Chains A and B, each alone.
Chain A
Amino acid sequence: MATSLAARLTRKTLKSATIGPLTQSIFGLTRPFSTAVATDSSSSSSKIPATITRDNDERLKWDYRGQRQVIPLGQWLPTIAVDAYVAPNVVLAGQVTVCDGSSVWSGSVLRGDLNKITVGFCSNVQERCVLHAAWSSPTGLPAETLIERFVTIGAYSLLRSCTIEPECIIGQHSILMEGSLVETHSILEAGSVLPPGRRIPSGELWAGNPARYVRALTHEEILEIPKLAVAINDLSKTHFSEFLPYSTVYLEVEKLKKTFGIPI
């Protein structure tokens, strides 16, 4: 009770202290630390410390919110299934669907601003991958990036408007260009580049830049592919359980706003 009273008192004193154009600008404020606000009222720039607004440049140098994870574009809202793990610094923009049990690891960018991107059941997109969709594909198929179930996509891969059928492995650092198709039970080795419109038939191992046929997969290897996806799914669950549904950063923001004398 005592602290709440103190807090209210300080708020009251702050309110009385900041009457005039400053409060006017700060009350109707949606982005408290944007420099745009600082420029239209010269008095507030003296109030907010120099670390936040160094000059009257209109551009934001530091967004206190960081990069938003989910970026809707128009009516397209990225959808994430409740038990999918999406790392906090992943960017999902536009028409992106992350299905049940799948995982998108840190540093990846899934940008479905021109076409759809789907990450299927139990698939995983590992660190620093970029998934994008082009406007049209040279094969005439729909130019959406479709990753079906039990697919493992290695770190640093680049996928653009390609279709990956169930139970495949895409190695690290591989590049899949527009309209490429990876059929069921096939493996692409690390560092391979798939030119536009290339199709990898079922049950084969391909490698190289540009990708070439290496050998057919054995039955045992084909059985291993979904097991790998499930293992990564298990790992993603341990990561997922580390995150609380809501972060407590808003407390930090409130505290910071209070120290700078901006009413909440």
Chain B
Amino acid sequence: MGTLGKAIYTVGFWIRETGQAMDRLGSRLQGNYYFHEQLSRHRTLMNMFDKAPSVSKDAFVAPSASIIGDVQIGRASSIWYGCVLRGDVNHISVGSGTNIQDNSLIHVAKTNLKGKVLPTVIGDNVTVGHSAVLHGCTVEDESFVGMGATLLDGVVVEKHGMVAAGALVRQDTRIPSGEVWGGNPAKFLRKLTEEEIAFISKSATNYSNLAQVHAAENAKGFEEIEFEKALRKKHAHKDEEYDSMLGVVREVPPELILPDNILPGDRTPKVAA
């Protein structure tokens, strides 16, 4: 840094100090009502005394999710934004390739009235929809828990079982393999078709691919974010449709291209629940 640079740096420092003093003055004037913003104190992974969560290296855990206590998460699983996995009184295990979608809650019970120990066990390739509440239950491999469903203590969802959206499954219910249960309290609705069973595992793989994109984005550092922001701004006016109308082919910088595996090739219809 030259002498001029040094001088400007020092003047800048003085002005910043003045700015901070102005900020303090403003806060003082606002008095009791002013709110001082703090650094984030949210813990994504948190111990409970000696029980530490163990998360596989290639699982995606959103920074706004909280995983507390004795939780095990297998590889290629994804825990989405705002989820809470609270294994404080008992253990939670999530298999591989499972996705727990946004704002879900998974909790455990120490024991139920009969003294049975109730951990929460979620198998492989399970799809748990948004805002689901799973409390001390067992969800076996390749099953599907719909959006907003609630599973109470001791519920078992067998392999390829499905809980429809908004269902409330009462205590100690066993959802047999290949059936759809829905309603409040949950009742048997119908059998799953072969396509739907195939779709469940497919949706799990789609989700784990999607999670990789989110994981990459959320793990970015400050400089990387700023760089990509600048790139995006530079290429912003280059609208694809407009370009194709003009017959112009433009290159998108490699940083801004999403891996194409997040998008399923054949558009299978979504499971009707």
Interface on A for B, CB 8 Å cutoff?
1, 3-4, 30-31, 34, 58-68, 71-75, 77, 89, 91, 93, 107, 109, 111, 113-114, 128, 130, 132, 134-138, 156, 158, 160, 173, 175, 177-178, 191, 193, 195-197, 209, 242, 247-249, 251-253, 256
Query: A67–B166 contact, CB under 8 A?
Result: no
Query: B103–A253 contact, CB under 8 A?
Result: no
**Bound CA–CA A191/B235 (angstroms):** 44
Given known contacts A30-B223, A136-B270, A138-B270, A74 and B102 CB-to-CB distance under 8 angstroms = no
B165 at the interface (CB under 8 A from A): yes
Q: Whole-angstrom distance from the CB of A24 to the nearest CB of chain B?
A: 17
1/0 per residue, CB under 8 A from A, across B46-87: the answer is 100000000101000111100000000000000011100000
Partner of A73, one of B10, B23, B219, B258: B258
Q: Whole-angstrom distance from the CB of B209 to the nearest CB of chain A?
A: 11
Residue in chain A with minimal CB distance to B167:
A209
Tell me the residues in window 176-224 of chain B with beta carbons closer than 8 Å to chain A beta carbons. Answer: 182-184, 206, 210, 213-214, 217-219, 221-224
**Bound CA–CA A196/B199 (angstroms):** 16
Interface on B for A, CB 8 Å cutoff?
10, 13-14, 17, 20, 23, 35-40, 42-46, 55, 57, 61-64, 80-82, 101-103, 129-131, 147-148, 165-166, 182-184, 206, 210, 213-214, 217-219, 221-224, 228-229, 232, 235, 252, 256-258, 262-264, 267-270, 272-273
Partner of B213, one of A113, A177, A249: A113
**Bound CA–CA A59/B61 (angstroms):** 9
Please name all residues of chain A whose beta carbon is closer than 8 Å to the beta carbon of B264 when the two chains form the complex. Answer: 135
Residue in chain A with minimal CB distance to B59:
A59
Q: Whole-angstrom distance from the CB of B186 to the nearest CB of chain A?
A: 10
Q: Whole-angstrom distance from the CB of A137 to the nearest CB of chain B?
A: 7
> Can you pick out 24 interface pairs between chain A and chain B where the beta carbons lie within 8 Å of each other?
A3-B17, A58-B57, A63-B44, A63-B63, A64-B40, A66-B40, A67-B42, A72-B217, A73-B217, A93-B214, A111-B80, A113-B214, A114-B210, A128-B103, A130-B103, A132-B130, A136-B267, A137-B270, A158-B129, A158-B148, A160-B130, A160-B147, A248-B37, A252-B38
Query: A177–B147 contact, CB under 8 A?
Result: yes
Q: Which 8 A-B pairs have the closest CB atoms?
A: A66-B40, A30-B221, A67-B64, A74-B258, A193-B166, A130-B130, A31-B221, A109-B102
Interface centre among A62, A135, A158 (most CB of B within 10 A): A158
Residue in chain B with minimal CB distance to A161:
B270
Query: B232–A132 contact, CB under 8 A?
Result: no
**Bound CA–CA A159/B268 (angstroms):** 20
Tell me how many residue pairs across A and B have CB atoms closer than 8 Å: 171
Q: Whole-angstrom distance from the CB of A162 to the nearest CB of chain B?
A: 12
Please name all residues of chain A whose beta carbon is closer than 8 Å to the beta carbon of B273 when the two chains form the complex. Answer: 177, 195-196
Please name all residues of chain A whose beta carbon is closer than 8 Å to the beta carbon of B38 when the two chains form the complex. Answer: 249, 252
Q: Whole-angstrom distance from the CB of A57 to the nearest CB of chain B?
A: 8
Q: Whole-angstrom distance from the CB of A39 to the nearest CB of chain B?
A: 12
Please name all residues of chain B whose beta carbon is closer than 8 Å to the beta carbon of A114 when the two chains form the complex. Answer: 210, 262-263
Query: B103–A71 contact, CB under 8 A?
Result: no
Query: B214–A62 contact, CB under 8 A?
Result: no
Q: Whole-angstrom distance from the CB of B220 to the nearest CB of chain A?
A: 8
Query: A62–B44 contact, CB under 8 A?
Result: yes
**Bound CA–CA A60/B218 (angstroms):** 11
Given known contacts A178-B270, A253-B39, A209 and B166 CB-to-CB distance under 8 angstroms = yes
**Bound CA–CA A193/B146 (angstroms):** 12
Please name all residues of chain B whose beta carbon is closer than 8 Å to the beta carbon of A128 when the two chains form the complex. Answer: 82, 103, 131
- A89-B64, A109-B130, A135-B264 known, 9 other contacts, Cβ within 8 Å: A3-B17, A30-B224, A66-B64, A93-B81, A113-B210, A158-B147, A158-B148, A158-B165, A248-B23
**Bound CA–CA A136/B267 (angstroms):** 7
Q: Whole-angstrom distance from the CB of B255 to the nearest CB of chain A?
A: 9
**Bound CA–CA A59/B259 (angstroms):** 23
**Bound CA–CA A77/B216 (angstroms):** 15
Q: Whole-angstrom distance from the CB of A41 to the nearest CB of chain B?
A: 16
Residue in chain B with minimal CB distance to A130:
B130
Query: A62–B43 contact, CB under 8 A?
Result: yes
Residue in chain A with minimal CB distance to B216:
A73
Q: Whole-angstrom distance from the CB of A15 to the nearest CB of chain B?
A: 13
**Bound CA–CA A134/B210 (angstroms):** 12
